[in-house]
Amino acid sequence: GEPDLRRVIHTWLMSDTRHVAALPAINGRTLQFHAWTSDAPMQAGAFGIAVPAQGRVVQPECLLIPCVGFDDKRFRIGFGGGYYDRTLAELVPFPLVVGIAFEASRLATIDPQPHDVKMDVVITDAAVY
């Protein structure tokens, strides 16, 4: 599973009315990010993942990206679809990229491929890398 960040994001949203959170939704071979609040109506999207039922598309300044695994150089293994890598290759301006992982998923290396995007930081339940 993934760390559940809903409470953290809700608290962040409540701290400043200018804050906007968004959730990813598959749009062809990349992701779009739709504005989200904790009380937003949701619907099943691709792969049965809940996405906002409505909401404006936003350009992220920062992405919190789940990691199945990550290494000491801050490369990640995702769920195998390549959506984040393809999306990051196209985003302008480029956002701050934050990996969210469990410490137990840290690996010596993921043997990154040329298309893999290095994260700016990885936050786990035990440390910040």
Q: Which residues are catalytic?
A: 76, 85, 116
Question: What are the tokens at 67?
Answer: 């990691």
Cα(104)–Cα(50) distance, integer angstroms: 26
**Distance linking the first and last C-alpha atoms of the chain:** 20
Categorise residue 126: left if φ over 0, alpha if ψ from -120 to 50, beta otherwise: alpha
Cα Rg for the chain, rounded, in angstroms?
15
Do residues 114 and 82 touch, judged by C-beta distance below 8 A? no
Cα(8)–Cα(119) distance, integer angstroms: 20
